[in-house]
A and B are shown apart, each in its own frame.
Chain A
Amino acid sequence: MFRLEVRTSTPAWFNLALPLLAIGATLVLCSGLIALAGAGVLEAYSVMFTASLGDSYAITETMVRAAPMIFTGLAVAVAFRAKFWNIGAEGQLLAGAVASCFVGAIPMPGPLAMVLMALAGAAAGAAVALVPATLRVKFKVDDVVSSLLLNSVIYYALMALIEGPWKDSFSGYPISPPIEDSANFPVLLEGTRLHLGVIVALLTAPLIWFLIVRTTLGFRIRVTGENPEAARYGGINVERVLISTALLSGALAGLAGVGEVGGVHFQVMSDISPGYGYSGIVVAMLARLNPLGVVPAAIFLAAVMTGAEAMSRATGVPAFLSDVIQGTALLAMLVALLFTAYRIRRVGVAR
């Protein structure tokens, strides 16, 4: 007989083992789809790996894709730590993209433009995240639904801009005017797309880790998430912590949009984010809400996305496999997390 027993603590190696277990299970489950498509499973996965991490150019492409997911992953991780259920990283990213595109189109010296773009994008993302947080603190409105619904509001606002005042009057395409050339983020490696924003993303993760683990605000965020009653009893203004968390989370998601505008697209279009906001949830869960874990988790998803296209060309397996892998990985991780709450014990029938 086996039975589930409630765990009181989890060993440290779980932080690494659980995501690996979830990713392993995901790859095994999705191999069924590769076989269904009539391709060799090992071949497909090896093409995927080579095309995303096999050489230095491939690695830069993967990193460019990972950058926005590092930001949205951090945004979600910070929010979920405080149990502020921010499902709105997608909308906050779009708001950040729009704001930075607006600033980037104003002629000014490049470095100044880049700093102002980042500030504007972070502020826009924070402003959007402030809405569900305020509604929750002041009116006890469920933050899951309000933050999710705001994604649609922001999306339509973006569409109204690029099909209205921003529309390209020459071609008629619904795209914004490009930002100034001087505001384009510098490319770090000649011949690649590796831009400054990628490095900023990589540096932000340890910064957020430090903030969560070592600072007073981080302590307050963690206590508020783990036990709001105790936090309140201990003199923490839980409402204020939730608002601060939302501002931080929204700013991080907004920066994801800034990177896409300044470093990749140089303008705003309707599909500027292929769901990076939602991917942020997958990243944060795989990272077990640890800001340092967000980096490898984002790189994993980015590698799957980059690799899927090459795999599709080589084997004919539809590239949409990467979307399936993303969803499966999230669900597998949730199941794996059960091991942190419970342990399976063998129960002797006879003693």
Chain B
Amino acid sequence: MSAVFEQIFQVGFLAAIIRIATPLAFATLGEMFSERAGVLNLGIEGIMLLSAMTGFTAASLSGSLWLGVLAAVLTGMLMSALHALFTVVLGLSQHVCGIGVTLFSSGLAYFLYRLIFGQQSVPPNIKGFQTLPIPVLSDIPVLGPAVFNQFSLVYMAILAIPLAAFILYRTPWGLSVRMVGENPRAADSAGVSVIATRFQAVVLGGALMGLAGAFLSMAQFNAFTFGVVSGRGWVAIALVVFGRWDPWRSAGAALLFAFVDALQLRMQASGLGHIPYEAFLMLPFIFTIVAMAVMSRNAVAPSALLKPFRREER
């Protein structure tokens, strides 16, 4: 056991946790905004993949990583706007549309990538984001190099958590989002446009999913591969539930999952693993399913989740 503990408190291990948590934090916050407004976005898996692709492509063609990030964010917004058009404006079933958006976006990502880069034996890569140490803070022992010597996108994710909490709990728009997710009829009576608010929340969520994709292809792997997302979108769906639709708890859930993931990577690498690593990867899903059963008694999910709103229907 002591060998395991030694590894946990290494700087490299802490830094790895932060890096694994970053795309999950972006994606989880994005899904959370969407769901708080009453819209489940199962398009997340495909949206992250397409964003990773467009971001990588824009960065590789223009030579500018930030242009790549912009492309990824715009992609996320566009595809989630498509989801919002179907589910919010037209009131179609959210789960089927979400699967449709995921199938469509993934297909488009594969197709366009193959079209632009052809079939190469070695996938093209870019010089991705480099770590950017923050003066003074990065000199703090252990925590400094792990947290404050990271990619700029990591800092953005860290800042995004309090910002998301602030927007959701302290701004009029955040109040509207929570209202349309809990009781759209009441929100409508209070003069809040349910359709507009939901649309905005879904698109904002999409922007965050875009950042998640951008991080994967431009900071973590510096290349686009077909398995670049490999289920991280579904993990985010689980983490939102596990984090009880709250920005802080959701981000905490992302960190917890990243810890488990980093631990299994370490155990694999060090040959310590008597337990198959898949057992660790399963954990967030199993925990979430169990948590849903336990939590269901004190309904914490947004009440209007999955329910389309049509003004004329009573």
Contacts and interface: CB of A to CB of B under 8 A. Distances in A.
Interface string A134-159: 01001111101110111111011101
A164 interface: yes
Contacts of A152: 231, 234-235, 281-282, 285
Contact of B99 (A141, A278, A325, A338): A278
B86 A141 contact: no
A144 B42 CA distance: 10
A318 interface: yes
A31 to B, nearest CB: 13
B278 A324 contact: no
B103 interface: yes
B170 interface: no
B90 interface: yes
Given A334-B100, A335-B86, A149 B276 contact: no
A331 B101 contact: yes
A33 B111 contact: yes
A326 B278 contact: no
A37 B96 CA distance: 29
Given A318-B115, A324-B107, A135 B293 contact: yes
B269 to A, nearest CB: 15
A157 B278 CA distance: 7
B301 A278 contact: no
B157 interface: no
Contacts of B97: 331, 334
B86 A331 contact: yes
Contacts, number: 139
A331 B104 contact: yes
B interface: dominant SS: helix
Contact of A151 (B101, B234, B296, B306): B234
A327 B237 contact: no
Interface string B282-299: 100110110011001100
A146 to B, nearest CB: 5
Contact of B282 (A146, A153, A163, A320): A153
Contact of B286 (A153, A327, A334): A153
B292 A142 contact: yes
Contact of A150 (B102, B108, B285): B285
A110 B120 CA distance: 44
A46 to B, nearest CB: 20
B296 to A, nearest CB: 5
Most chain B beta-carbon contacts within 10 A, residue among A87, A151, A155, A323:
A323
Given A157-B282, A324-B104, A327-B101, A135 B111 contact: no
Contact of B234 (A37, A148, A282, A331): A148
Contacts of B237: 145, 148-149
A323 B103 contact: yes
A328 interface: yes
B103 A282 contact: yes
Interface string A149-193: 111110111011001100000000000000000000000000000
Given A153-B286, A334-B96, 12 more contacts: A145-B241, A152-B235, A153-B289, A160-B276, A282-B103, A318-B115, A321-B107, A322-B107, A327-B105, A328-B104, A331-B97, A334-B86
Interface of A: 33, 36-37, 85, 87, 131, 135, 138-142, 144-146, 148-153, 155-157, 159-160, 163-164, 275, 278, 281-282, 285, 318, 320-328, 330-331, 334-335, 337-338
23 contacts: A36-B115, A85-B95, A87-B95, A131-B289, A135-B293, A139-B292, A140-B296, A141-B293, A146-B292, A148-B42, A148-B234, A155-B231, A156-B279, A159-B278, A163-B276, A323-B106, A324-B107, A327-B107, A330-B100, A331-B86, A331-B101, A331-B104, A334-B97
Which 10 pairs from chain A and chain B are nearest by CB?
A: A327-B104, A323-B107, A327-B103, A324-B107, A318-B114, A320-B110, A160-B278, A330-B100, A156-B278, A320-B111
Interface of B: 40, 42, 46, 82, 86, 90, 92-93, 95-97, 99-108, 110-111, 114-115, 231, 234-235, 237-238, 241, 276, 278-279, 281-282, 285-286, 288-289, 292-293, 296-297, 301, 305-306
